[in-house]
A = this chain, B = another copy of it.
Amino acid sequence: MRVMGVDPGLTRCGLSMIESRGGRQVIALDVDVVRTPSDEPLQRRLLTISDTVDHWMDTHLPDVIAIERVFANQNANTAMGTAQAGGVIALAAARRGIDVHFHTPSEVKAAVTGNGRADKAQVTTMVTRILQLQQKPTPADAADALALAICHCWRAPMIARMAQAEAMAAEQKRAYQARLKSARTLKAAK
């Protein structure tokens, strides 16, 4: 499974590509940070990010995109730009029929370091170790994008089981309601 990790942002947007080889074995294929100047109009910045992401998706052909879930309560001003960047990236995936999953920062930290409140340095250290990189990835956005993709690779089996369980529950509910309806119809007919 090939996973593209995205740490969305307008000023710096971290992108990574990771290949999962079963179990916890993961290999880094690529990592980069897209930068857009803050004095450019918003729509131009989004276009730069979108064009870069299009190129990444068409070059690496990922099976799934893992994007960091943004919360508005962190820093209101940057959160909106981050949401807009994440939106255009999710759109690029939808245009190609690629699945998109969102992971919260604490899910990512917990997956990679075992601690949902780990700091940036701990995340970078663990990412470097897990992927057996020669150097620590910089800036932090690059490390975060790699951590996101690793997090998705490791959580994917659990997410798949959850989706299966939910689908089964929905099917059972549908069957139960159908039985209930036919029982009522029979009763009314008597």
Give A contacts to B, CB under 8 Å: 41-44, 46-47, 50, 70-73, 76-77, 79-80, 83-88, 90-91, 93-95, 100, 102
Contacts of A76 in B (CB 8 A): 71-73
Which of A43, A77, A87, A93 is packed against the most chain B CB atoms within 10 Å? A87
How many copies, total?
2
Docked complex Cα distance between A76 and B80 (Å): 10
A91 vs B70: C-alpha distance in the bound complex, in angstroms? 20
Taking A77-B72, A79-B72 as contacts, is the C-beta distance between A43 and B94 under 8 angstroms? yes
Per the bound structure, the CA–CA distance linking A84 and B90 in Å amounts to 9
Instruction: Tell me how far the C-beta of A100 lies from the nearest C-beta in chain B, rounded to whole angstroms.
Output: 4
Provide the residues of chain B in CB contact with A70, threshold 8 Å: 80
Measured CA separation A44–B96 after assembly (Å): 11
Q: Name A86's contact: one of B84, B86, B90 (CB within 8 Å).
A: B84
Complex CA gap A83/B87 in Å reads 8
Shortest beta-carbon distance, A55 to chain B, in Å?
15
CB <8 Å contact, B79 and A43? no
Chain B residues whose C-beta falls within 8 Å of the C-beta of A46 in the assembled complex: 87, 90-91, 94
Shortest Cβ distance from residue A107 to the other chain B in the assembled complex, whole angstroms: 17
